[in-house]
Amino acid sequence: MSEPFLIGDAMTGGYGKGPDILHECTISANKGEIAVIVGPNGAGKSTAMKAVFGMLNVHGGSVRLDGEDITKLSPQERVVKGMGFVPQTSNIFTSMTVEENLEMGAFIRTDDFSDTLMQIYDLFPILKEKRFQAAGELSGGQRQQVAVGRALMTQPKVLMLDEPTAGVSPIVMDELFDRIIEVARTGIPILMVEQNARQALEIADKAYVLVQGRNAHTGTGKELLADEEVRRSFLGG
Amino acid sequence: MDFLNAIVAFSNYVLVPGAAYGAQLALGALGVTLIYGILRFSNFAHGDTMAFGTAMTIIITNGLLALGITFGPLPTALLALPFGIAATCLLVLFTDKLVYKFYRKQKAAPVILVIVSMGVMFIMNGVVRFVIGVRDIRFTDGERFIISARDFKEMTGLKEGLAIKTTQGITVVVAIFVVIVLFWFLNKTRTGKSMRAFSDNEDLALLSGINPEKVVMVTWMIVAALATTAGVLYGLDKSFKAFTYFQLLLPIFASAIVGGLGSPLGAIAGGFVIAFSEVTITYAFKKVLVYLMPDSLEPTGLVQLLSTDYKFAVSFTILIIVLLFKPTGLFKGKSV
């Protein structure tokens, strides 16, 4: 099997000098794929994603993007390498307008990014409508669209989302998932942490169930949905 | 009853001086609020940064005058101002490199940075006194009045005169110009927007590839320009004395906090709120009331709420009221 486009391979590590949270945890995503990390509270889902993004101390294993070892790079350097990251909270500039948020997303680009801006407005029409409004005045679902749009402005090679549907209503959640599928269809691999396991597994090409920082189950979304043990322990029967 | 004379007297003693003082405070408060928004601490050394900038400008003004260069009817200090700003830029950038950067790398708590800035304040205080002395210095030259009280009386035939000093006019014009340029910079340029982004959400700004050291450097340079301009305008309008500038710290902080720390618009509004409160409360209204009241009700006292000696109490009181009841200020800044 060829190497996945983005892979966090057998990562072991924790925050700062604290104890290890991840133990030989492997996460990967391929082009055009949506990879989802699910698991119970405190399983290290967000931690695993942050490890891939370089926000914690990984002392075992490695992270590779397109075959290049990026384990030692800082998060900022990884953004330059083509990783887009949407944090779970405080993921927009609340006092700035929607358009300014997107412009700041493209800060590292020195070329003309108006095309990308138009693409993002096509993808999220509501943002075009509210482009001159302060992002902090938008609803939860719209804020998440701003956050994803901001991360897409660098034209990343891979997009990572940390619980994009946290705190939004079920209807908005479905809409966000639709948008995320649309982004994946453009060929960008998506790595996503999700709290709403069932819905996330339904759209996942590949899914990881983590328990206590270890890979517990891995497979396609459908396989895991059908897996008796996964259903019993995480999906409530 | 004589409304016209009452209005003229009120303008002469409250409105015009208040507007000029407000503009000076607004410029000072803008500097404080920018530092708070971007470097995330209250810079106690701001008053002395203003003093340093003004001292440098005075020295250069004296040099220009010695060379026989003047600015016609305008004060020569305006010609020297850019050099004063440059010198202050160098000082604050040097201070940042030498002192603040160390604490920034350690991610020191804001309260530690406040104490550090107090240390910087004492040192700058000493440097300024060492360089230019402790005495009162007047450095205004050129035309003294735009309209003098006597001309106004002759023109209008009113009993009260309205004097507008050249320095008051310059203060307001320069302040408006500076504010327009600053807002244009913050809202329209890439660097300005990156400063706002950094102030809004530091982590996300870093994720977006904004270079924090560049943001900090540009902030210090803008603050140096604002502080020097504010200090020179205040000095032209009144006079320069190192101790007075140190004391200006209180009304300036009050302005920034009343407006909402971190909000540039708030700093301007706060500056005028504090200035007009101070001037109105310490002004003896007898003169105005004499024109408004019937003879029988004419006030016998001065009708002055507070003696000017207590003007700092006004800033203090407003500061406490705001912190108790609306800690985020008028324009929703960050709470202290």
Residues of chain A with pLDDT under 50: none
The number of domains in chain B is 1
Q: Is B31 domain-assigned?
A: yes
* Nearest-neighbour CA in chain A from B105: distance (Å): 16
- Distances from the Cα of A9 to the Cαs of A29, A201, B284, in angstroms? 11, 22, 78
* Nearest-neighbour CA in chain B from A59: distance (Å): 22
Residues in contact with B118: Cβ distance below 8 Å, sequence separation at least 6, in sequence order = B44, B45
Query: Rounded distance, CA B1 to CA A92, Å?
Result: 59
Indicate the DSSP class of residue A15: S
Q: Is A230 domain-assigned?
A: yes
Residue B124: predicted pLDDT: 96
Query: Rounded distance, CA B224 to CA B201, Å?
Result: 24
Residue B296: predicted pLDDT: 82
* Nearest-neighbour CA in chain B from A72: distance (Å): 16
pLDDT digits (tens, 9 = 90+) for B130-177: 999 999 999 999 889 999 989 999 988 888 889 999 999 999 999 999
C-beta separation of A9 from A166 below 8 A = no
B205 contacts A87? CB cut-off 8 A: no
Q: Domain containing B63: what range?
A: 3-325
pLDDT band for B1, please (50, 70, 90 cuts).
low
The number of domains in chain A is 1
- CATH number of the domain where residue A222 is located: 3.40.50.300
Q: Is A8 domain-assigned?
A: yes
From chain B, pick out residues whose CB is under 8 angstroms from the CB of A87: 203-204, 207
Q: Is B335 domain-assigned?
A: no
Extract the tokens encoding A3. 């190497």
B207 contacts A85? CB cut-off 8 A: yes
Return the residue of B nearest to A106 by Cα: B208
Q: Examine the pLDDT at B87 and tell me if it is beyond 70.
A: yes
Burial of A104-128, coded b for 16+ CB within 10 Å and e otherwise, reads bbbbeeeeebeebbebbbebbebbe
Query: Rounded distance, CA B228 to CA B244, Å?
Result: 15
Is the CB of A79 inside 8 Å of chain B's CB atoms?
yes
Residue to mutate among A95, A98, A146, with most B CBs inside 10 A, is A95
B311-325 vs B264-282: helix crossing angle, rounded to 10 = 130
Q: Is A102 domain-assigned?
A: no
From chain B, pick out residues whose CB is under 8 angstroms from the CB of A93: 196-197, 200-201, 204-205
Extract the tokens encoding A200. 């996330």
Q: Which of A93, A103, A150 sits opposite B200 (nearest CB)?
A: A93
Extract the tokens encoding A13. 């590590």
Residue A230: predicted pLDDT: 83
C-beta separation of B114 from B44 below 8 A = yes
C-beta separation of A153 from A127 below 8 A = no
- CATH number of the domain where residue B160 is located: 1.10.3470
Q: What is the mean pLDDT of chain B?
A: 93
pLDDT digits (tens, 9 = 90+) for B207-231: 898 999 999 999 999 999 999 999 9
Q: Is A74 domain-assigned?
A: yes
Residue B302: predicted pLDDT: 85
Residue A237: predicted pLDDT: 56
Paired residues of A137 in beta bridges? none
Q: Which amino acid is at B126?
A: G
pLDDT digits (tens, 9 = 90+) for A165-192: 888 888 889 889 998 999 998 889 999 9
Residue B182: predicted pLDDT: 97
pLDDT band for B331, please (50, 70, 90 cuts).
confident
Q: Is A211 domain-assigned?
A: yes
ipTM for this prediction: 0.86
pLDDT digits (tens, 9 = 90+) for B177-210: 999 999 999 999 999 999 999 999 999 999 898 9
C-beta separation of A189 from A8 below 8 A = no
Q: Is A178 domain-assigned?
A: no
| Alpha helices for A70-204 (secondary structure H) | 75-81, 98-105, 114-123, 125-129, 140-152, 170-185, 197-203
Q: Domain containing A208: what range?
A: 1-82+191-237
Q: Is B330 domain-assigned?
A: no
